[in-house]
A and B are shown apart, each in its own frame.
Chain A
């Protein structure tokens, strides 16, 4: 089915995650995304196949050598047919290759062109590239997950949250620019970055006139929770996430845990008091939770209206990917990949009731659609073969050696 972005065409030169994830999201919503890939393959392809598929499924793929003039010419011919260009090359790289904004605009005057960076197109570090952990460090995610304030070691949050933030914010920005183009006919250059995207995750932190920061919730040293009543507890056989954060949850929690005397204990009578005596209260509750199975606590607490959930291991996502209901709702998708066979992945990250989209095209192989795309812009069979012989383009043959 078509999806909300039917008719939109995006050229994607991106690699790794921050580059290709945004165009994939637009493709998931119905845009035609053409991945322009080096002849030797995207660097991510052999590195982490799962992550590669998590950024590339659904795209058309043409393999081009952009170091050869004919490769650049073909790229610009494709850009001339497109609405948007997106990539995550370092500052100046696209211009050097001949596919920068000015070149793209010459090919397509109203092109919308987005470069995703590590740090941005301006500022003292604009010249540098980088990777997700730089963003997580600079924004404070690693510091708070440590938690460093409690004497912990900073911890990198798995997996690429800053990359994804950069990619999704550039996808939104592209569509904002598209709205402008539809009204005025004017394209533009825009940029996003891992640095700025990751900063969105801590946008709630601000300074007052004296430079005093806002107070933030504090994770405990063992990474179990933010308070005695919003925390993971170990039961006889597993872990339970408690969220007994409303006043009415407190007496019900005590009743279910059979620690009724705590209800009227002055140390715990108010939220402030419970916070002050957090450590000892946590010990009391931990002892109680340790006396029964997680699933039993879950059933009893939910019957009493106390929010909680068993913390489950989805076994590398398998239990989510084979959840019938999530599959029926389109949050999980299935397709057949020419090498890997039957494949399950996340489906719609946004659900569109009026223009539903389905992700049923696999991750392309290197040059999967080279011939179809060349034919579309007017190349004949002999020309295609000549380009292939000269190493300007390629398409998959019997000797295809990539894992995906």
Chain B
């Protein structure tokens, strides 16, 4: 079956999260993604996540600190539509592959940079560790917890925001290219990634800022997190979009109060009622509780550790827990393709390739014969 992007070639020079995982959605809808990494493999391979983030692509090893390596990369660029890099600022320019230079030679390219901080800003060259972006962008103070002060976010939210923006940005630039005939440089900084997640709270107007307040101790959705029997947790946020045949109180065995009436209770009334409610949840087995809520049209989700998600009925029911046979690790279970295009469905194309696994095939297709490749291998270029 044809896939939506099977005429697109992407050169992926990234490690970490935003680049490899951002490109993955494009790879699994048909794009020919070629990982271009140093001989021996890129440093991010040491992280477990790379097994997933770097799958469904081919791998070529090139030493970009050598003129031969750069020359081969330029040959690849002539066959490519997209280049994605997430190096420290100045690294690509030092290779002679900065975006202005490379686009002057290959104007068809969409050149996507993923720095921590925006190019041209006062902090462009500052350290770009994930948590430093959280700290300096204010994200740690946006998160609530059971103490005051900034919260360290376990989830690398800046990289995650950027990871989601990367395929949008690349596809938008490819859309523009169909109209203008030209590629361009685009940038998704981790700062933009983290800002994508404060879009819902950060605004300022002449009339004030209208936002859902921070709360201490944490409120809003925190109020629907409950402990069940056996120390298991449930997020019993009952909104479900379907008709409800029973109330929370009827199912759990306590006096039900409509949500809007909570606001009119005195603190003592609330405390008395809510402690009864908390005690009711504690008596319930979580699996039985979720089944009862589902049957009554209420929403409830088990709060699980990430690895437990593969057993979720919806994960199973949408075929999203996928077996991928890794060349070194053997069979693994991984999360599959997150979006569903019915005419051109995405699919996992294969495991993470070993570093340089496709040197012969990819470089051979550029016209380099076996002797030449052997020589380059001997010199450590590939």
- A164: chain B residues within 8 A (beta carbon): 161, 164, 196-197, 199-200
| Contact partner, B153, options A145, A153, A195, A203, Cβ 8 Å | A145
Contact check, A120 vs B147: say whether CB atoms are below 8 A apart.
no
Stretch in contact with the other chain, from A63-71, A251-259, A305-313, A367-375: A305-313
Provided the pairs A54-B203, A130-B241, A169-B338 are in contact, do residues A203 and B135 lie with their beta carbons within 8 angstroms? no
Contact check, B241 vs A51: say whether CB atoms are below 8 A apart.
no
| Contact partner, A196, options B188, B196, B338, Cβ 8 Å | B338
Contact check, A129 vs B241: say whether CB atoms are below 8 A apart.
yes
Provided the pairs A208-B329, A348-B192 are in contact, do residues A241 and B140 lie with their beta carbons within 8 angstroms? yes
Q: Does A175 sit at the interface, judged by CB under 8 A?
A: yes
A315 to chain B, nearest CB (A): 8
A317 to chain B, nearest CB (A): 3
**Complex-state Cα separation, A25 to B165, whole angstroms:** 9
Count A/B pairs, Cβ under 8 Å.
507
- B142: chain A residues within 8 A (beta carbon): 158-159
- B242: chain A residues within 8 A (beta carbon): 90, 127-129
Contact check, B176 vs A225: say whether CB atoms are below 8 A apart.
no
Interface residues of B in 178-194 (CB under 8 A from A): 178-180, 182-189, 191-192
- Greatest chain A CB density within 10 A among B153, B205, B218 is at B205
Encode B132-160 as 1/0 by CB contact (under 8 A) with A. 10111110111111110111111101001
Q: Does A147 sit at the interface, judged by CB under 8 A?
A: yes
Contact check, B172 vs A51: say whether CB atoms are below 8 A apart.
no
| Contact partner, B314, options A125, A147, A354, Cβ 8 Å | A125
Q: Does A48 sit at the interface, judged by CB under 8 A?
A: yes
Provided the pairs A164-B164, A245-B129, A309-B135 are in contact, do residues A341 and B197 lie with their beta carbons within 8 angstroms? no
Q: Does A263 sit at the interface, judged by CB under 8 A?
A: no
Provided the pairs A50-B201, A203-B335 are in contact, do residues A25 and B168 lie with their beta carbons within 8 angstroms? yes
- B155: chain A residues within 8 A (beta carbon): 141, 144-145, 157, 161, 201
How big is chain A's contact interface, by range?
A: 35 or more
Q: Does B263 sit at the interface, judged by CB under 8 A?
A: no
Q: Does B259 sit at the interface, judged by CB under 8 A?
A: no
- Greatest chain B CB density within 10 A among A4, A120, A337 is at A4
Q: Does A133 sit at the interface, judged by CB under 8 A?
A: yes
| Contact partner, A4, options B173, B192, B234, Cβ 8 Å | B173
**Complex-state Cα separation, A291 to B130, whole angstroms:** 26
Contact check, B121 vs A157: say whether CB atoms are below 8 A apart.
no
Contact check, B200 vs A312: say whether CB atoms are below 8 A apart.
no
B145 to chain A, nearest CB (A): 5
- A136: chain B residues within 8 A (beta carbon): 235
Provided the pairs A341-B205, A352-B172 are in contact, do residues A403 and B210 lie with their beta carbons within 8 angstroms? yes
17 A–B pairs (Cβ distance < 8 Å), ordered by A: A29-B168, A153-B227, A156-B222, A156-B225, A158-B201, A158-B220, A159-B212, A170-B339, A196-B320, A226-B152, A241-B150, A241-B152, A311-B134, A321-B202, A344-B205, A352-B172, A354-B173
The 7 residue pairs across chains A and B that have the minimum distance between CB atoms: A129-B241, A354-B184, A317-B202, A204-B49, A123-B317, A341-B206, A314-B138
Binding site for A on B (CB under 8 A): 4-5, 7-8, 17, 21, 24-26, 29, 47-49, 51-53, 99, 118, 120-122, 127, 129, 131-132, 134-138, 140-147, 149-155, 157, 160-161, 163-165, 167-169, 171-176, 178-180, 182-189, 191-192, 195-207, 209-212, 214, 218, 220-222, 224-225, 227, 233-235, 237, 239-242, 294, 297, 299, 301-310, 312-318, 320, 329-335, 338-344
